[in-house]
Amino acid sequence: MDKHNLNAFIAVAETKSFSSAAEILHVTQSTISKRIALLEGTMGQKLFDRIARQVSVTPAGAELLPRAKHMVQEYQNAIQAINDLSGSTSGILRLAISHHLGLHRLPPILRAYAQEHPDVVLDIEFMDSEKAYEQVLHGHSELAVITLALEQHNNIARRKIWDDRLRFVCAQDHPLSKVQSPRLTHLADYPVILPGLNTYTGRIVQNLFHAENIRLKSPMSTNYLETISTMVEVGLGWSVLPETLVKDLHVMSIPDCHIQRELGYIHHTKRTLSNSAKAFIALIDPQL
């Protein structure tokens, strides 16, 4: 079976959208439709139901999906193994990187990697850590550098590289900036701006307040920490941010309250890492 057709099928099945699949694979929607039609012709079965703009996998499609993923992965493994036999570091390295790490931790590492391995094409996607996790889990990216998940999956190998301390912050002229020795209960009296509960960072903060049985005041949320920093700076609320983003903000020291998140990289345990990926890991994790 043609791998392009299989990739189109997998992308549509996972996104439940022909247009989203086209975006992921960087082709037109008509190309996706043609590839699905060719695959359906080969299989002699309809793979998707399209009803009222909703796309769902048929029973035949559901049977094909895990096998299609396996065939695509085996094809990629074969190409990789043949290329790696020479011992060279080349080809395409697909990385998923969180927005924050891409801005604040990785630029010098990526620059050094590009200089040391000019034959490697870096295919980098910047996204939320949670989406990057899914990219690796489903085989779309070989490595991800992210805020590490609170839970662990059997098929995901993870390694911490940095501890990232989180600080309670508000604007320099916010009422909380005048409170001597503030406590979590003081913070609960004012509006808060946090990453959503769908993010690892947001859940770390929310879990802290839930453990103390403290209810937060109708939190505003956005997943972009840089946006949160700006909103805090103009006085819309307090927040919890990494130390790299507290430059012009007032830091509130909460007694006996130290929270942090773990930053590092992940890869799929059942995927043989390419020479390119191993070289990247050696650069980001020299102590390994």
CA distances (Å), origin 24, targets 47, 104, 129, 135 = 19, 26, 17, 11
Residue 21 confidence (pLDDT) above 90: yes
> What are the backbone dihedrals phi and psi of residue 280, each rounded to the nearest 5 degrees, phi first?
-65, -45
CA distances (Å), origin 11, targets 1, 18, 96, 129, 261 = 16, 8, 17, 20, 31
Six-digit token string for 240? 């919890």
Q: Tens digits of per-residue pLDDT, 235-255?
A: 999 999 998 889 899 999 998
Six-digit token string for 137? 């889990």
The whole-number average pLDDT for the span 102-117 is 94
CB 98 within 8 Å of CB 146: yes
49-53, 188-192, 229-233 — which is least confidently predicted? 49-53
* Whole-prediction pTM: 0.74
pLDDT band at 272 (very low <50, low <70, confident <90, very high): confident
Q: Tens digits of per-residue pLDDT, 64-96?
A: 999 998 888 788 778 777 777 777 788 889 999
Q: Tens digits of per-residue pLDDT, 121-169?
A: 999 999 999 999 999 998 889 999 999 988 888 999 999 999 999 999 9
CA distances (Å), origin 288, targets 107, 142, 161, 258, 282 = 21, 18, 10, 28, 7
Six-digit token string for 119? 């034959």
Can you list the domains of the chain with their CATH numbers? 3-83 (1.10.10.10), 88-162+263-284 (3.40.190.10), 163-261 (3.40.190.290)
Residue 219 confidence (pLDDT) above 80: no
- Strands 143-147, 48-51: pairing is unpaired
CB 47 within 8 Å of CB 40: yes
What are the strands, taking DSSP E only, across 114-214? 120-127, 143-147, 156-170, 193-194
For residue 126, give the nearest of 141, 113, 111, 148 by alpha carbon: 141
Q: Tens digits of per-residue pLDDT, 156-211?
A: 999 999 999 999 999 999 999 999 889 999 999 999 999 887 888 888 888 899 99
Give the integer Cα–Cα distance in Å for 37 and 12: 12
